[in-house]
A = this chain, B = another copy of it.
Amino acid sequence: MNERNSNNLTWHDGYITREDRERLHAHKGAVVWFTGLSASGKSTIAQHLEKMLYKRGCSTYVFDGDNVRHGLCSDLGFTPEDRTENIRRIGEMVKLFVDAGIIALTAFISPYKSDRERIRALVGADRFFEVHVDCPVEVCASRDTKGIYEKAKAGTIKEFTGISAPYEPPQNADLVIHSDREDAVSAAKQVLALIEEKGIIVERCQVSTIDSLV
């Protein structure tokens, strides 16, 4: 926190706590942090996982590099400093979602190890699950329907991760998905199994209600 605004702030504890909200939702708040190259399949896996969690009655939200950049981070570009600030803001935002008792699924390239580690520390290691969606850059480029890899190779798009900007793969991801060899549904099932094992989903809540909805 900078000097300018350090003199008149105090932290307020609300009357309703995270534990209360987690009891209401019948699961814990957590972040599943998908990291990997553009077109590696992060958003698709996150969306399949969200559907599976919804069927279990879980409160979720999918954050996406593209849609967050239209809003919260619309003032930021793709320089190293802007990428770090982008991930910092997202980290602070998802921390509040976790406090609200939500399972946040984030699908950002998030190329820098230090940025991801900062969020793990911010949210708490027991609530943060890093999933590396590992896919060779050639496969990502071949899948890319938007033609952005072509533009990156031609230099029309600058500072593009995997082509003209670095990607630092996680050394100790909670899970590695090889999305060139596994489909999105089977990948999402693996993540579901992980967060069950870690105790984020504490019970099958409201199954009868939800089954009638989906």
**A positions within 8 Å CB-CB of B:** 1-2, 4-5, 7-12, 14-16, 20-21, 23-25, 43, 46-48, 50-51, 54, 57, 59-64, 66-67, 69-72, 74-78, 89, 92-93, 95-97, 99-102, 146, 148, 151, 156-157, 210, 213-214
Name the CB-closest residue of B to A78.
B5
Whether A69 and B9, one on each chain, are in contact in the complex, defined by CB atoms closer than 8 angstroms, is yes
Residues of B with C-beta under 8 A to A146: 8, 10
Whether B15 and A74, one on each chain, are in contact in the complex, defined by CB atoms closer than 8 angstroms, is no
Q: A7-B156, A21-B54, A24-B59 are in contact. List 15 more A-B contacts (CB 8 A).
A: A2-B74, A2-B77, A4-B77, A5-B74, A9-B69, A10-B66, A10-B146, A11-B66, A12-B43, A14-B50, A15-B48, A16-B60, A24-B54, A61-B100, A97-B100
Interface CB pairs A-B, < 8 A, 9: A1-B69, A1-B74, A5-B78, A11-B66, A14-B47, A15-B51, A24-B57, A63-B96, A97-B97
Top 10 A-B residue pairs of the complex, sorted by shortest distance between their CB atoms: A4-B77, A71-B92, A72-B92, A61-B100, A15-B47, A1-B74, A8-B148, A14-B62, A15-B51, A9-B66
Whether A59 and B25, one on each chain, are in contact in the complex, defined by CB atoms closer than 8 angstroms, is yes
Q: Once bound together, how far apart are the Cα atoms of A25 and B12, in whole Å?
A: 26
Q: Once bound together, how far apart are the Cα atoms of A47 and B69, in whole Å?
A: 31
Residues of B with C-beta under 8 A to A43: 12
